[in-house]
Every structure is written in structure tokens, then in C-alpha cells.
Amino acid sequence: MKLSASRTALSGLALTVAATALGQPLLAPAASAATDAPATSAARAGTGWLATQLTNGVIHNDTYDFDDLGMTMDIGLSMDEVGGDQAMVRQIRSSLSSRVEEYVTGGQYGDPSFRLAGELAKSLVFAQVSGADPRTYGGYDLVAEVEKTVTASGPSAGRVVNYSPAPGWDDYANTFSQALAVRGLSVAGSDKAAAATGFLLEQQCSSGYFRTFFTADASAAGQSCVEGTDPTDTDTTAYVVNQLAATTPRSAAVDAALARAVAWLGATQKADGSFVGSPFTPDPNTNSTGLAASALAAAGTCEQAGRAAEWVSSLQVGPQPSTSPLAGEEGALAYDRGAMDSASANGIGAARDQWWRATVQAVAGLTHARGSATALAVTSTGSEPGSTATLSATGGTVGDRFCLTGPGIDGSRTVVVGADRVLEAPVTLPAAAGPATYTLTGHDGATTHTVAVRSAAQPAQPAQPAQAAQPDAARGSVVGVRLVGPAGFRKAGSKVALEVIGAAPGARFVLRGPGLADTTIVAGSDGALTRTVTLPKATTTAAYVLLGSDGQVADGTRVLGKRRLKVSALASDGPRTRVLVRRLVAGEKVRLVVAGRVLAKGRANSKGRFLTRVALPDGRAKVRVRAVGQFPDLRSGSTRVTLR
């Protein structure tokens, strides 16, 4: 008997067969923040939309008229990873508890004696993360059942297989099935976990990616990937990384495999942050990019994970008017730009199954989307060499992620704005006295903060010759002193004035910031002074620090560099045309201009976007709509609209 792969199989080919479960990120020292950190608003919107697609805790596929139990488990696993939907996870657990047998035996397409390796492994992992007893969930000892799928000996020892007394059936277990089994058995402490893990590592190709399909002949001597023969696959590679990251303890071999896989992923990321899937899915899509975002974050590559997550978020349905074809679909993720454009014009319709699979696989990746760094104000406590200091940042949104780099941090670390709207990040200061600069990077640039590392028990070090900074003891007090830069945005590369206000007459300080060596400045007889600085030539927050004998004060100037804005004319739900401008910075002024006439103006939202409706002029077949940012000579873009 042959089983229906479209309804039961696990595969790495995005959207061609059942979607796969999502693993929890690796909590390496330089990687993710605490697992109880708030989710981003985009990720919460995604799981919120998935919840609306369930009926009594199960998702029903109207196209083929069946309850998709595997997809339902995937939704539960995604909700668990994103967090905040545990009540819904429990409802799914309850709804599926009486249907495990149907799922793991193939239901109406299988036989009660069948045991399907991927379905059993996914059921085991779902039971573990949802709080069910995996030894009794659904009437099965899922640990024992998965152990039975692990090949005991021979060339394919450790390989999971479907098993049944019936001949002539397809054994479609693959690397996805194997990765789930490794995770479930490892968490359960099974003796079979090591063998299953060993076989999984054999599926890694020499360049670092994992192949999707096993060697067809399980008795053949060679059971490993053949570079150049087995096709590359982003989905499979990222999926394996996420599942292995959830196992503990991990051997040196597993850690080495993870490092090679993440290096391969990083090398294949496109300039805009997106990923393709495989030779079968050669175009950028949210499935592959969302999975890769989670895998990159698991390994501590925060900036790459953030860029991937932000690309995924560009294909998420936002708030809609009641008359929109996408009204009620807020939070859903389109598979690609074509799917989004089609649904924006006509609604999701018959493509709903594709939207389910895109969202369930990509939504966890949205938890790594970064916030606006230019909105942050950073302070710190602690200055003793070698001690732990705490960086605190305000101005972010609950759940916003940022990439933290600086002394003592290997690569970059993801830090999160907590429920109190404050980001707190402990850092270990250098063992030697001196400035320690930390950088928080978001989707729109970076904010820096410098800690003056010095010991209260040690005298200040003598000044160094030539251009070295002035000793602390020779500086004035910063109590009551303010460093004030220009408000609003300033053009990259321009000159601006920084003012010191409230200092003691004749007090000396050290001024530090972009483009400046440590510079000694002296307050005038009125306790004030002005210093002209040249801003960086890129979009960022230029952070300047005034160092005194007893601490420091800082100010940040928001800098806008050159960038081509992306302008799109969207399907309209009325006589006015919807126009979307992207690649702005949050709060940036923007105008829409047609033939020299301003049709609309406003400011970009927190995601750097501006959406409005405009009445385009009549009497023309086409018009060019131009978007002008804060500085027209640096930031503009246009699109041509065909009038009907």
C-alpha cells in the first residue's frame, strides 16, 4: 500500500508537501536572549492569525476536505517557540490527544499496524513541548515508538524508517524525520539518541549543508551526502540546525556540524537578507528565509538573522481597512511577493493552504526582527575593571531585538526590550581601565554607549604623551552638565554644533564620538562651549560622549545617509490609489509628488514605511509617483503607475 505523501510526509521542499515543525533556538553564550523574553509584535501577529485558522483546535483543509493533523502540530510548535499562546497550545494538545493513532498510522491512507517515523517523531516533540506525557500521549509510548523506527545495525544504523508488515509501501522518511527523532530522543534521554544523531550528521555535505533525502538503498555501503550530487537545501539545513540546537548535552561533533551549517547558510544569504530554498524553489521566499533567520540567531549571528527576519516581515499582512480583500488576515505571511500582490488584489482564496504553510514555517523567524536603534537612549551602571556592568536602554518597543557588540562579546548577542519597555544587558567589562564602547544595532542603524572603565580604589593613570586623553582627575565634574546636539534628523556628512551647558567655568572634559580622536575641550567663563563636528556619511545615530572626572553624559544625533526609497502602488479598494513607501527611517518626513505637485505628506512608521491613499491626476495613461524623504537630494524613489 502506498501512502499519500501530500498528506502525511515530511519534506524539505517548501510548500510541496506537509509543512515541518520548528525547533527552539540554541542558547549559546553569544546567541539568543532568555527564552521567556517577549516576542516581537510581528511574531505575535503571525501566531495570532494562525490561531484564527483553527476550528476546535484543529486546522481543516477545505481543498482536500481533511483535518490536517500534521499542520495542526506545526502550529502548536510554532506558537510554543514564539511564546504567548500557551493556552492555544494546550487546546491543540487536547484536540489531538484522541487522534495520535490516526496521525502516526496514516489514517484512512494507512493501516493500524503502520508506524510512520516522521509523524511519530513530530508527535513526540509536540508532546514534550506542550506539557503532555510523551510516554502516554494519545495512548502511545511515543519514546518507545520512535526508538523502534531507529535502524539497529548495518550501513544505515541510526536511520529512522517507516515500518509495517505490508510490502510495497513507500518509506519516505527523510532528514526532517531524522532531525525530529534526534531532538525527541535526546530530550527523552533515550539510548537510541546517539545512533540517530550519528546518522543525521552523515547527511551533512562537505560544504556544510544537509541533504533532504537519504540514500534510496538502506543496505548500500554509502549512506552519506555526496557533494555535487545531492542538491543544496536551505530549508533542510536550517531545520536541522534548529532541531540540534534544542538537544542537550551536545557533543563536539554536533557543535562542529552546527558551525559548518550556519557558515554555509550565512554564505548563501542574499544582499537583501532573503534566502532561496533549493533547486526546486529557486526564488526568495518566506519559508526558507524564516527558517534561516532562526538558525542564524541560534548561532549568534544576530545581524544576519535580523536582516532575514526583516525581509520576512516585509511580506506580512498589516492592519487593513474593512473593505480590503485582506481584511481579517492581519499577521499572515505570504510565500513571496507574487502571492502578496495577488492576495492584496483578490484575497487569499484558494491559496490559503500555501499561506498556512508559509506562516507556520516562517513565523518564528520574525522573533529576530530588530527594532529602531535610533530611538534608543542608553545608560549604564558599573565601571570597575573586570566587573559586570548593566547597559540599560529606553525608547524601544516591547519585544524589540537588537544586536549587541563590544568588549567581551564573541560576535554579537541578541538583546530584547522587556515587558517594562526597558532593555537591560549585563556585560563583563575589560580587565584594564579605559573606554569600553558597546554598540546596539537595529534595522535602521546603530547606537553606541561608552563605559569609562576605572577602579575607584586606584589612582588615575598619568596622561600619555602626544594625543592621549586627559586623566580623570584633571577633568571637571559632569554633575548638572548637559551635552546637547541638534534635534531631529541631520544630513550625513554635514557639520553640526554640539553644546556643553552647565559646566563650571574653565572646566576641562574629553569629547569622544564618530570622527573624533579623544579631544580635550574647555568650558568658557559662563560654563558653556560649542564644538563643531562632522557627522558620519551613513545612516546611523552618531553618539557623542562628554567624559568628566566622575562619569559621563551623552547625546545622539540622528543621521540620514543616501538611499533609494522603494515606492509601490497597491491595489485600491476605492477611487484613491494606495501608495506604499519603504526603506525610510522611523519618524522620517516623506512627501509624495506627481508632476511637481505634493499629493500627500507625513512621517514613516516604526518600520520605516509610509502608506497613504492619493487621488492621481486624470487624463494620462501613466503617471510617475515620486517619494521624497527628509533630504530630497539623498533620499528619494519613484514608480510608474498605469491609470485605468
CA 240/CA 298 separation, integer angstroms: 12
Q: For the residues 401-414, what does the mean pLDDT come to?
A: 88
Looking up cell 518507545 gives 144
CA 149/CA 404 separation, integer angstroms: 43
Cα 58 to the chain's mean position, in Å?
27
- In three-state secondary structure terms, 324 is coil
What string of H, E and C letters represents the secondary structure of 541-558? EEEEEEEECCEEEEEEEE
Q: Strand 489-491 relative to strand 551-560: parallel, antiparallel, unpaired?
A: parallel
- Of 251-255, 576-580, 588-592, where does mean pLDDT reach its minimum? 576-580
Classify residue 534 as exposed, middle or buried by CB count within 10 Å of its CB (0-12, 13-18, 19+): middle
CA 1/CA 533 separation, integer angstroms: 76
Half-sphere exposure of 494 (CA within 13 A, CB side): 17
What pLDDT score does 545 carry?
A: 87
Q: Strand 577-582 relative to strand 566-570: parallel, antiparallel, unpaired?
A: antiparallel
Q: How far is CA 60 from CA 65, 67, 352, in A?
A: 7, 4, 11
Q: For the residues 170-183, what does the mean pLDDT come to?
A: 92
Model confidence at 123: pLDDT above 90:
yes
Per residue in 528-580, pLDDT (tens digit) is 788 888 888 888 888 888 888 888 888 888 889 999 999 988 765 556 788 89
Domains and CATH numbers, the chain: 5-368 (1.50.10.10), 372-454 (2.60.40.10), 459-561 (2.60.40.10), 564-642 (2.60.40.2470)
What pLDDT score does 558 carry?
A: 87
Give the DSSP per-residue string, 203-216.
TB-TTSPBPSS--S
CA 392/CA 422 separation, integer angstroms: 7
Looking up cell 547625546 gives 555
Per residue in 194-247, pLDDT (tens digit) is 999 999 999 999 999 999 999 999 999 999 999 989 999 999 999 999 999 999
Q: Which three cell numbers stand for residue 469?
A: 586623553
What pLDDT score does 469 carry?
A: 44
Q: Tell me the whole-structure pTM to 2 decimals.
A: 0.67
β-bridge mates for residue 55, sequence order? 58
Q: For the residues 284-295, what does the mean pLDDT come to?
A: 96
> Residues near 92 by Cβ (< 8 Å), separated by ≥ 6?
54, 57, 58, 72, 73, 75, 76, 79, 130
Higher-confidence residue: 192 or 20?
192
What pLDDT score does 300 carry?
A: 79
Which one of 18-32, 124-138, 533-547 scores highest in mean pLDDT?
124-138
> Which alpha helices (DSSP H) does 133-173 contain, by range?
142-148
Asked if 584 and 629 count as a contact pair (C-beta separation under 8 A), the reply is yes
> Residues near 216 by Cβ (< 8 Å), separated by ≥ 6?
none
Looking up cell 504567548 gives 84
What pLDDT score does 471 carry?
A: 55
Query: Quick check: bond before 249 cis, omega within 30?
Result: yes
Q: For the residues 395-399, what does the mean pLDDT come to?
A: 90
Model confidence at 331: pLDDT above 60:
yes
Asked if 413 and 443 count as a contact pair (C-beta separation under 8 A), the reply is no
Q: For the residues 483-510, what does the mean pLDDT come to?
A: 88
What pLDDT score does 170 carry?
A: 63
Asked if 367 and 35 count as a contact pair (C-beta separation under 8 A), the reply is no
CA 71/CA 472 separation, integer angstroms: 62
Looking up cell 568658557 gives 524
CA 130/CA 632 separation, integer angstroms: 53
pLDDT bracket for residue 166 (50, 70, 90): low
Within 524-614, strands assigned E span 529-534, 540-548, 551-560, 563-564, 566-570, 577-582, 589-594, 597-603, 610-614
Asked if 643 and 625 count as a contact pair (C-beta separation under 8 A), the reply is no
Model confidence at 101: pLDDT above 80:
yes
What pLDDT score does 461 carry?
A: 43
Helix (H) / strand (E) element for 87: namely: helix 86-96
* Number of CB atoms found within 10 A of residue 144's CB: 15
Q: For the residues 98-109, what does the mean pLDDT come to?
A: 86
Q: How far is CA 88 from CA 38, 51, 53, 59, 499, in A?
A: 17, 7, 12, 13, 54
What pLDDT score does 167 carry?
A: 57
Model confidence at 27: pLDDT above 70:
no
Model confidence at 317: pLDDT above 60:
yes
Looking up cell 572634559 gives 509
Q: Which three cell numbers stand for residue 549?
A: 572626572
What pLDDT score does 22 carry?
A: 27
- Of 264-268, 293-297, 392-396, 619-623, where does mean pLDDT reach its minimum? 619-623
- In three-state secondary structure terms, 77 is helix
Percentage of the chain modeled with pLDDT above 70: 89
Within 298-444, strands assigned E span 377-381, 388-394, 401-405, 413-416, 423-428, 434-442
In the chain, the amino acid numbered 595 is: A
pLDDT bracket for residue 109 (50, 70, 90): low
What pLDDT score does 403 carry?
A: 93
- In three-state secondary structure terms, 369 is coil
Model confidence at 636: pLDDT above 60:
yes
> Would you say how long the chain is, in residues?
644
Percentage of the chain modeled with pLDDT above 90: 56
For the chain, what is the mean pLDDT? Answer: 86
What pLDDT score does 572 carry?
A: 56
Query: Quick check: bond before 435 cis, omega within 30?
Result: no
CA 408/CA 421 separation, integer angstroms: 25
Residue 630 has what DSSP assignment? S
What pLDDT score does 15 carry?
A: 32
